[in-house]
Amino acid sequence: MRAVRIGSNHMIDVVELDAPTLTPDELIVRPVACGICGTDLHICQHGFPGTNYPVTPGHEFAGHVLAVGRNVNGIKEGDFVAVNPNVSCGHCEWCRENKPHLCNALTPIGVGRAGAAAEQVAVPGGNAFVVRESIGHGVAALIEPLACALHAVESAQGIKDRRVLVMGAGTMGLLTTIIAKHFGAADVTVVDPNPAKHAIALEVGANRAASPDELRDERYEVIFEAAGAMPALRQALGLIRKTGVLVQVGVHGVDAKVDINPFTVYEHELRIIGSNSLANQFAGAVDLMSDISQQAAKLIGDTFSVWDFAAAVKSMESGHAVKTQLSFA
Ligand SMILES: NC(=O)c1ccc[n+]([C@@H]2O[C@H](COP(=O)([O-])OP(=O)(O)OC[C@H]3O[C@@H](n4cnc5c(N)ncnc54)[C@H](O)[C@@H]3O)[C@@H](O)[C@H]2O)c1
Ligand SMILES: [Zn+2]
Ligand SMILES: [Zn+2]
């Protein structure tokens, strides 16, 4: 079969590989849509923790089931599935605590094992979720980032009637905005220095879209740092209302540091919470996507053939589309 492959030298190639072999606990899926995200850029540019080079990328995907292992229940050949890429071991302390995303032996599809930028991909049975194909192929491939955003909103421990600030109008910030509004946030402000992103923020339901320098003395009960940018984090730390919460969604460099005033954290009873990946929210995101698919579809920008993976990555780097996806026709 044909597959995209990124080598340890970070070169992107299209190569001929053996198709995956069906094992009793897995499925073989033929992908139909796959998103590209910051993780793929890291894998292409300088490496991402846990990458097993040479690797076939692609972890935000949906497709049709080609073959089903004999131990897999509830899924049959021809089903349309969205895939949770987080393959966990099932028996370490984190898996036993129902936090599979923190598994000591996590091997994500498209990072630690072969991903969807290929004609076929192997998927553990428990990682595939049957979805209604009528929601759209591209929308189904957005269920994975939606699950990450759902985990972020859940991490805030209360969103209804809250005054919310979202830093960053990329895929994560906009999906977080959609979810916050869906679950009854009183008001959502989205901040992005790129004015071209403001219109889409309003279109998916934000009450206000602004540039960072437009925020002055206001304070927010829930802030999502979904930019992964130091200026966004520094600004966010100064905008948390007393008893409020900052959810760290953006991924910063492993050595990045920021000043925190512990007196303010104490005096204002602030909470700063990290949200890593999708936890156990994939099934929840499948259900939620049925309700918000029309807003989510607005995020899909440029679509490239999977065999033009390098061009898709370039387009993603340019930052003008919110979500770049791959098609497999
Ligand atoms: N926690 C998770 O599970 C998870 C999942 C996916 C992505 N991420 C991370 O979340 C971050 C966002 O991901 P994305 O896919 O939406 O990226 P993206 O690049 O599409 O969006 C980031 C947005 O932030 C904006 N931005 C830059 N500087 C800013 C500032 N000072 N203030 C406000 N906005 C600013 C950019 O203009 C851009 O629109 C990245 O760091 C990514 O690695 C986290
Ligand atoms: Zn991703
Ligand atoms: Zn585990």
The domain locations on the chain are 2-142+299-327, 149-274
DSSP label at 251?
Answer: P
Q: What is the pLDDT of residues 120-142, one digit of tens each?
A: 999 999 999 999 999 999 999 99
Whether 249 is in the pocket of ligand 1, judged by its Cβ within 6 Å, is yes
Whether 212 is in the pocket of ligand 1, judged by its Cβ within 6 Å, is yes
> Is the CATH code 3.40.50.720 the one for domain 149-274?
yes
* Nearby residues of 202 by Cβ (< 8 Å), 6 or more positions away: 208, 209
Burial of 325 by CB count in 10 Å (0-12 exposed, 13-18 middle, 19+ buried)? Answer: buried
289 membership: H or E segment, kind and range: helix 282-297
Q: Which of 251, 278, 316, 323 to mutate to test the pocket of ligand 1 (most atoms within 8 A of CB)?
A: 251
The CATH topology of domain 2-142+299-327 is Quinone Oxidoreductase; Chain A, domain 1 (3.90.180)
Contact 129, 81 (CB under 8 A): yes
* Nearby residues of 144 by Cβ (< 8 Å), 6 or more positions away: 35, 59, 60, 61, 82, 83, 84, 85, 278, 282, 285
Q: Which of 45, 153, 192, 225 to mutate to test the pocket of ligand 1 (most atoms within 8 A of CB)?
A: 192
Angstrom distances, CA of residue 39 to CA of 35, 57, 178, 220, 277: 11, 9, 22, 29, 11
Q: What is the pLDDT of residues 253-307, one digit of tens each?
A: 889 999 999 999 999 999 999 999 999 999 999 999 999 999 999 999 989 999 9
**Rounded mean pLDDT, 216-231:** 96
Q: Are strands 208-210 and 187-191 parallel, antiparallel or unpaired?
A: parallel
Residue 217 reports pLDDT greater than 90: no
CA-based max dimension of the chain = 60
Q: What is the pLDDT of residues 60-74, one digit of tens each?
A: 999 999 999 999 999
Ligand minimally distant from the alpha carbon of residue 100: 3
Q: Is the pTM of this model over 0.85?
A: yes
Residue 318 reports pLDDT greater than 90: no
> In the prediction, which pLDDT does 46 show?
82
